[in-house]
Amino acid sequence: MPRAMTAGYLAAIQSAALRPALFVEANFTSGPIYAWSGVGSITWAGHTWTGLGSLGNVSMIEEGAHPRHPGFLMLNSSTRYDDRRYNKGDRMIADFGACYEGYYGDITRMAIFGEPTDEQKKDHRMACDVIQLCFEAMQPGTPIAELSRIANRELVRRGYQSVDSPKRIGHGIGMARAEPPSLNEVEKEVHRPGMILAVEPKVRSDKSAVHLEEDVLITERGPEFLTSGREELRVFE
């Protein structure tokens, strides 16, 4: 045992009650906003931190995820949580998911600090529309590769960049948060009942790159969304 680690400290960090937390400071001209990844407001380091778990209807542990392995969270495709600050007009892409009884979820949502611009609303709407088009094509027995073709046709038609294979617009999900098959144009697999696929087509232009993500179950009758909420573009005032 390291000299600085007491028996009480070691017991505490091994406890199932230990809950990892992320703290974010968003800097506006009117002043900073302090938020954390849990539920409710807490006071720490001289500030009151608002729980994003409450604002975003997300609280992995409160909903049953294991306290020691609740899931994952990436902000703007990064797990680097340092002293970077958000400013008014910035968009935040949150990719996250809980692990429940050994099985993962994986969704992505978008939020804007301050009033969204027309371009940000347009990008968000586009991501929603492409996911819906892919969902409608996820029928049992149909090629998974067709999803990438459908997404790319719509992206190009509306002035966005295509997602060139072997880059993918999604992946399988289950006991790992990313597993086969890959949702790209070279995938040989077909949709099979029992599959769960995370659909996340990237929406890219010369000025921006955003995406949303939903989990879809393939059933004998067709696709079924396991997640919801992509239609709401969240705003932090």
pLDDT tens for each residue of 70-81: 777 777 654 455
**211 falls in which pLDDT band (50, 70, 90)?**
confident
Condensed to tens digits (0 to 9), the pLDDT of residues 5-62 reads 567 655 665 665 555 666 777 765 556 777 776 656 778 888 888 766 544 444 666 7
Neighbour order of strands in the sheet with 23-28: 23-28, 31-36, 47-51, 42-44
Classify strands 47-51 and 71-75 as parallel, antiparallel or unpaired.
Answer: unpaired
Rounded Cα–Cα distance for residues 99 and 65 (Å) = 6
**What does the alpha-carbon distance between residue 34 and residue 49 come to, in Å, rounded to a whole number?**
5
**Hunting for tokens 């000299």 — which residue is that?**
3
* Secondary structure (3-state) at 213: strand
Fold classification of 7-236 is: Creatine Amidinohydrolase (3.90.230)
* pLDDT tens, position by position, 150-197: 999 999 999 999 888 778 999 999 988 889 999 999 999 999 999 999
Domain map (residue ranges) of the chain: 7-236
Say if CB 159 and CB 208 are below 8 A apart. no
200 vs 37, more confident: 200
- Is 177 buried (19+), middle (13-18) or exposed (0-12) by CB count in 10 A? buried
pTM of the full structure? 0.72
pLDDT at 36: 76
